[in-house]
């Protein structure tokens, strides 16, 4: 089997630096990782892959390779995306952005519920711009 550049010999796993590049970039690095069997789970970052459309393309490609997908950061939005694909596995939850929103989805017993409001079902916190605004 041809190894992906930067991959270790054990199961073709990529090293940490290579893994960070694959999370950070878009469709082509993800395709390379999948086609070389360098990953078991495809982690997709909405902000770095190029938005919702690109995220969904990578998730569809992962499905074609029979790989589950996980999100990377921003769980308030990723909860929608992971729920929308048949190979969605897990929403990575890091409590860094929840203060930006009024009543954001939060994990309860290890599960998150997809908001049902319009759009993403999110509203900015009422004091957000007073607290963090510039000018």
- For residue 113, give the DSSP letter: P
Residue-level pLDDT at 100: 92
Q: Which two tokens stand for residue 68?
A: 């589950």
Give ∠ CA 94-99-101 in degrees, rounded to 5.
Answer: 105
pLDDT digits (tens, 9 = 90+) for 24-33: 577 888 888 8
Strands 42-44 and 101-102: unpaired
Provide the pLDDT for residue 135: 67
Residue 18's pLDDT is 52
- Contact yes or no for 27/61 (Cβ under 8 A): yes
Which of these, 23, 22, 4, lies nearest to 13 by C-alpha position?
4
- Residues 37 and 28: their CA atoms lie apart, in Å, by 14
44 vs 55: CA distance, rounded Å: 7
Q: What is the pLDDT of residue 93?
A: 93
Q: Can you list the residues of the chain whose pLDDT is less than 50?
A: 1-3, 6, 8, 14, 20-21
Q: Is the pTM of this model over 0.85?
A: no
Which residues are within 8 A (CB) of 57 and not within 5 positions of it... i.e. 6 or more apart? 27
């Amino acid at each position: 089997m041809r190894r992906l550049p930067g991959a270790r010999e054990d199961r073709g796993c990529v090293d940490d630096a290579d893994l960070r590049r694959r999370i950070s970039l878009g469709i082509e690095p993800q395709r390379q990782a999948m086609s070389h069997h360098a990953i078991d789970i495809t982690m997709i970052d909405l902000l770095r892959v190029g938005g919702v459309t690109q995220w969904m393309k990578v998730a569809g490609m992962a499905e074609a390779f029979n790989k589950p997908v996980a999100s990377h950061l921003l769980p308030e939005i990723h909860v929608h995306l992971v729920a929308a694909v048949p190979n969605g596995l897990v929403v990575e939850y890091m409590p860094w952005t929840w203060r930006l929103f009024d009543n954001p989805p939060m994990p309860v017993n290890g599960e998150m519920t997809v908001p049902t409001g319009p759009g993403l079902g999110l509203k900015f916190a009422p004091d957000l711009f007073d607290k963090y605004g510039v000018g």
